[in-house]
Structures are given as C-alpha cells and as structure tokens.
Amino acid sequence: MTPVDSNTRSDSVGWRPIETAQKDEQAPILAWFDHDADPYQDPSNPGRLTDYAAIAEGGDFLSGKGVAIVVWRDGYHDSDGWESYQSYWVPGGWFAYLDGDATDYVVNATNWMPLPTPPALEERRG
C-alpha cells in the first residue's frame, strides 16, 4: 500500500492513526471515532481534562463509536460574555462535518482515511 502524507483523496488507503492526519479546516476526512476511548483526564496531568473532554463537557459530542466525516477546527479564545470579560481557551479538535461545514459535535477520532474520490457529476445523473 502506498503511504499518503496528507488528506489527499484516494480509494486505496487503509485506516491510519489520527495523529497522522493533516489538521486542515478545509479538508474533511473519514474518521473512526470512539467516545469511550478518551481517558477524560490527561494522563500526564490528572488535574487537567484532555482536549476532547474539555470540548465535550459542553454536551455536544458523538457518543458511542462508529464512522463519521470530520474536519479539524483550530482552538480559539472565547468569553463568558460581555459582562464578565472572562476569557478562556477552547482547544482544537475533530468535529462532525455535514452539508459542507463543521458542526458543533466534537468527535473523539482515533483513526482516519482520506475520503474516496466522489463520482463524477455525469455518473450521478445517469
């Protein structure tokens, strides 16, 4: 099997560790996810949540395990609102991708593969 170094579309590539996927907000990939595979607390710092757990604490996540089209979203600073002026960091993560855009559902992706090449427009009409 020929290695793929980016999220290039290919029909002949197997599952790869998610750490090898290019974190590109414009390049959706096919991911295997497993909500329960995340330890919740960072093993190297038990007082800190994993990045996935920190985002999932908001309640929007894909539970269980399965396959989903996902896209990377970079981390960003957010605030509690204009009244408090309290800001905090929201870490980056893999989010379910639907209708050409990332959703608010974080995904604990463990493996990935490039999306297959879509059928040509003419083939879909026929």
| pTM score, whole prediction | 0.77
What phi and psi, each to the nearest 5 degrees, are found at residue 30?
-90, 130
Q: Is the pLDDT of residue 108 over 90?
A: yes
Q: Tell me the two tokens of residue 56.
A: 């999932």
- Tens-place pLDDT, residues 71-80: 999 998 877 6
| Domain edges within the chain | 24-125
What pLDDT is attached to residue 25?
Answer: 85
Q: What is the Cα–Cα distance from 74 to 67, expressed in whole angstroms? A: 21
Q: Tell me the two tokens of residue 90.
A: 């929201």
- Listed in sequence order, the DSSP H helices in 3-68 are 51-56
Query: When comparing pLDDT for 5 and 106, which is higher?
Result: 106
What pLDDT is attached to residue 1?
Answer: 31
Candidates 34, 73, 68, 71; CA nearest to 55 is 73
Q: Is the pLDDT of residue 122 over 60?
A: no
Is the separation of the CB atoms in 32 and 109 below 8 Å? yes
Q: What is the mean pLDDT of residues 6-31?
A: 81
Q: What is the Cα–Cα distance from 87 to 4, expressed in whole angstroms? A: 39
